[in-house]
């Protein structure tokens, strides 16, 4: 299994030129890494920058930070402001983050809408990264999703107290949660850790807490730091 390193830029940066600068530096840094066959890097910028990066990605994949739950046959429809899974797929996205705790908190996303978004993403061939903070969020989110689609499903354990605080979860607790989540899903899928990951602690979450990858917020906007994280893998 490849180690998956996902950059979640969240609502940053504010200009396309800055987005391009970060993207170019990350790309250059990742391109230079030798022996990166065992790592998959995914960059998830805000929707508005995705099309600018579509043709520039070679050494890593593009991802989105959210997707609309409706799955209209033509991939579009009368849903003002929304972005469908088909649009993301056609734009070259391979991944989409779903159910991030910030979306649950500020946009009142529920297990039900998250479940619908997961289905729309998986049905359109996107790899879906389901973010959870508690084990209890798994069951409803995965309701009605066929086991055969689990191959494109990734879980990300992101304890809310660790997000953007500079206080990551302890390796011991993270390792325990990783084990409990694995037991709850009963199937061998990738589980990532997210929350105040940096180049100092990244390797421990993989080697000691046994995660299959990382979901990186703040540090992913600092190209040098992000490339360092990828290198430690
Ligand atoms: P930070 O790495 O900034 O704590 O954010 C984590 C996160 O929410 C990634 O999705």
Please tell me which residue, 73 or 183, carries the higher pLDDT value: 183
How does pLDDT run across 193-208, given as a tens digit for each residue? 999 999 999 999 999 9
Q: Is 195 in the pocket of ligand 1 (CB under 6 A)?
A: yes
- Across the chain, mean pLDDT equals 95
pLDDT range class, residue 186, cuts 50, 70, 90: confident
Q: What is the pTM of this model?
A: 0.97
Ligand 1 centroid–CA 94 distance in Å is 20
* pLDDT for 75: 77
Which residues are annotated as catalytic? 100, 158
Question: pLDDT for 38-68, tens place per residue?
Answer: 899 999 999 999 999 976 667 789 999 999 9
pLDDT of residue 54: 79
Partners of 3 in the β-ladder: 39
Domains and CATH numbers, the chain: 3-70+82-232 (3.20.20.70)
Query: With contact defined as beta carbons under 8 Å apart, do 3 and 38 qualify?
Result: yes
Going by alpha carbons, the residue nearest to atom 9 of ligand 1 is: 217
Please say whether the beta carbons of 181 and 138 come within 8 A: yes
């Amino acid at each position: 299994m490849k180690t998956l390193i996902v950059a979640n830029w969240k609502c940053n940066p504010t200009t396309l030129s800055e987005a391009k600068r970060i993207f170019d530096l990350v790309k250059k840094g990742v391109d230079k890494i030798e022996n990166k066959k065992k790592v998959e890097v995914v960059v998830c910028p805000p929707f508005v920058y995705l099309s600018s990066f579509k043709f520039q990605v070679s050494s890593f994949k593009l991802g989105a930070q959210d997707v609309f739950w409706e799955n209209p046959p033509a991939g579009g429809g009368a849903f003002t402001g929304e972005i469908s899974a088909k649009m993301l797929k056609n734009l070259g996205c391979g991944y989409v983050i779903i159910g991030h705790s910030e979306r649950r908190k500020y946009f009142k996303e529920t297990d039900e809408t998250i479940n619908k978004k997961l289905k729309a993403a998986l049905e359109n061939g996107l790899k879906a990264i389901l973010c959870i903070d508690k084990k209890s969020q798994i069951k409803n989110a995965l309701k009605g999703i066929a086991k055969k689609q689990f191959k494109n499903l990734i879980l990300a354990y992101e304890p809310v107290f660790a997000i953007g605080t500079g206080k990551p979860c302890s390796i011991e607790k993270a390792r325990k949660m990783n084990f409990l989540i694995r037991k709850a899903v009963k199937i061998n899928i990738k589980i990532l850790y997210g929350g105040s990951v940096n180049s100092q602690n990244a390797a421990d979450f993989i080697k000691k807490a046994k995660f299959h990858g990382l979901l990186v917020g703040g540090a992913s906007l600092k190209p040098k730091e992000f490339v360092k994280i990828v290198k430690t893998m």
